[in-house]
Amino acid sequence: MTTDSSHLDDDINRAALAYHAEPVPGKLCVTLTKPAETQWDLSLAYTPGVAEPVRKIAANPEDAYAYTGKGNLVAVITDGTAVLGLGDVGALAGKPVMEGKGVLFKRFADIDVFDIEVDAETPEQFIDTVSRIASTFGGINLEDIAAPHCFEIERVLSERLNIPVFHDDQHGTAIITAAGLLNALELQGKRLEDAQIVVLGAGAAGIAGIHLLINLGARPENILAVDRKGVIHPGRDDLNSYKQAIAVTTDKRSLADAMQGADVFIGVSGPDLVNEDMLRSMAPKPVVFAMSNPIPEIRPQVALALRDDLIMATGRSDYPNQVNNVLGFPFIFRGALDVRASTINREMQIAAVHALRDLTREPTPQAVLDAYGLSKLAFGPDYIIPKPLDPRLKLQVSGAVARAAVASGVARKELPAIYRQ
């Protein structure tokens, strides 16, 4: 179990500062992929030898994938307006998080990253900056950009660029949540198309999650979104276009109203916002995804003491069923890059959902048990989402994404043999 003690917080804060500062500041560096030991090496790496690949790329821009690192390089880019749970701390303060994202890309999918922090006062400035540097990269991972600007930024960049643009706070969270939810509903004997769903939090993750669930078969009229002012319904006069798109006609106005009889609660909001009465009012065999970090919307020890018929997930690693975006974005980009996809479309996202869902049902390899100090791990209420250190993720999720890119016509390269199944 966890503790909220200040002593533990002080310990991790000191350790985190030391980790980031020593033995050299930061978490990423540039390393060489070619020899640079002799005069001949240097003449190939720079002048005069470098002129020949320059000529090739000038004549055919696609040759950049053959002669540079573009095809395995992703930009992790932020404006610093929604950094973790810290809010608008500014672009530079977001750099440790962007470097951390780079660590995860490299560790889990062997993808190189440049982290880029953009001081932009408007979405248009941010879009212009990213558009101008995009030719450097094989893909763009947008990160920690506040809603509603994040929706417009991703939409415009996706339309303007011919490389994948992916806002992980939207789609990464939505994909992992959907995979776990499909498994949880099956275990509870329920179907997505019949489920009454409450989504608390109508920012990037909440809105993207609703759209993905609808694409997977949920009925729009069965999904009630709740923000700080209550249930999102068409009668409100304070809704932006993104919230208007998820508004549902209902007489329910508060979170407590919405929770009555609900089969599913998805929280992407803040700590301790769901009380005991709300949980008690849910339908039999509910599914609760309380993903606020570090403190969930309702704490697992509270929820499980009240309802022994629920299945629960959180965003924390110290409870079962962690909704962790590292299960998605490295492998989604790996699959997209490996077939040189021009975008990450809905078909590729849905393929990732089903790959994650299916992987959880397969026998767990010993390597996973060893990594987590477990004697057994099998599909069930405490295992509805794969573990991040599962070595099968790279092949199965990346392969599913790559095959979906080919099938949907956005791949510009043949499917690698490793993904042909």
Q: Which of 101, 190, 243, 387 is catalytic?
A: 101
Mean pLDDT computed over 266-287: 97
Taking the alpha carbons of 309, 312, 317, 320 in that order, is the dihedral positive or negative? positive
46 catalytic, yes or no? yes
Do residues 199 and 273 touch, judged by C-beta distance below 8 A? no
Instruction: Label residue 285 left, alpha or beta by phi (over 0 means left) and psi (-120 to 50 means alpha).
Output: left
Residue at which a domain ends, from 281, 314, 347: 314
Mean pLDDT computed over 131-159: 97
Report the domain count for the chain: 2
Using pLDDT thresholds of 50, 70 and 90, give the confidence band for residue 85: confident
Residue at which a domain ends, from 314, 335, 358: 314
If asked whether residues 225 and 338 sit together in one domain, one would say: no
Residue at which a domain ends, from 314, 333, 354: 314
Mean pLDDT computed over 46-64: 97
In this prediction, residue 7 carries a pLDDT of 61
If asked whether residues 293 and 330 sit together in one domain, one would say: no
If asked whether residues 192 and 281 sit together in one domain, one would say: yes
Q: What is the mean pLDDT of the chain?
A: 96
Is the pLDDT score of 40 beyond 70?
A: yes
pTM flag (> 0.75): yes
If asked whether residues 356 and 286 sit together in one domain, one would say: no
- Assess if residue 86 is contained within a domain: no
If asked whether residues 343 and 386 sit together in one domain, one would say: yes
pLDDT tens digits for range 310-320 = 999 999 988 99
**Burial class of residue 29, CB neighbours in 10 A (0-12, 13-18, 19+):** exposed
If asked whether residues 343 and 405 sit together in one domain, one would say: yes
376 catalytic, yes or no? no
Q: In which domain, by residue range, is 254 found?
A: 171-314
pLDDT tens digits for range 347-375 = 999 999 999 999 999 999 999 999 999 99
Q: Which of 19, 27, 34, 46 is catalytic?
A: 46
In this prediction, residue 8 carries a pLDDT of 62
If asked whether residues 289 and 361 sit together in one domain, one would say: no
Is the pLDDT score of 2 beyond 60?
A: no
If asked whether residues 271 and 391 sit together in one domain, one would say: no
pLDDT tens digits for range 90-127 = 999 999 999 999 999 999 999 999 999 999 999 999 99
If asked whether residues 364 and 263 sit together in one domain, one would say: no
If asked whether residues 412 and 337 sit together in one domain, one would say: yes
If asked whether residues 258 and 370 sit together in one domain, one would say: no
If asked whether residues 403 and 349 sit together in one domain, one would say: yes
- Assess if residue 160 is contained within a domain: no
- Assess if residue 48 is contained within a domain: no
- Assess if residue 248 is contained within a domain: yes
DSSP letter string, 364-380: PPHHHHHHHT-S---SB
